[in-house]
Amino acid sequence: MARNIGVVQQNKFCQPLKVIFFAGNRFIMKLKQGDKAPAFTTTDQDGNKVSLKDFKGKKVVLYFYPKDNTETCTKEACNLRDNYATLKDKGIVVLGVSFDNQKSHKKFEQKYGLPFTLLVDEDKKIINDYDVWAEKLFMGRNYMGVLRTTFLINEKGKIDHIIEKVVSKDHAAQVLETWGL
């Protein structure tokens, strides 16, 4: 189980600083609003190198989804596609992340005409850095998978908001409303 024991570290005023989860013999720091977004470098659906630092000075929607070409993930991607012009007009960059490979991402992009970048994370480094790999339950079966989560990262590279209850069919409006745009 990825998240089995949680401990809250406190400062001398008994205010919580960070929640640390123990997973096996690893410590996982749960990201929160105001934290610096973990840096990453990977490739996109076209094989181009992409780093978070490439978007410094821009608002970034970093959305994690379980799998290309699945029903809910497609609804989410198409909603962002359909509202991409509005997001772009607001100065927002959209980056999707899953552990699918480059070929799968390219097919997904082409099949649905996705105008934004899909990041390849086959080794789950970004997924783990953002702590969105966890135990899930589906049809009575426990398994490990990506938690559908969106991080709204500001122009300075800090996490403004974390959307854990994503509304896939209306995600762009959820992003704009959460950011107050």
Give the three-class secondary structure for 19: strand
User: Could you tell me the end-to-end alpha-carbon distance of the chain, in angstroms, rounded to an integer?
Assistant: 38
Residue from 97, 38, 27 nearest 64 by CA: 97
Interacting residues of 178 by C-beta distance below 8 A, sequence separation 6+ = 152, 161, 163
- Per the annotation, the verdict on 73 as an active-site residue is yes
What's the burial of 15, exposed, middle or buried (CB within 10 Å: 0-12/13-18/19+)?
Answer: exposed
82/99 Cα distance (integer angstroms): 24
Please identify which residue in the block is written with the tokens 């105001």.
Answer: 34
Q: Which of 31, 73, 118, 172 is catalytic?
A: 73
The amino acid present at 163, given as its one-letter code, is I
61/162 Cα distance (integer angstroms): 10
Q: Annotated active-site positions, please?
A: 73
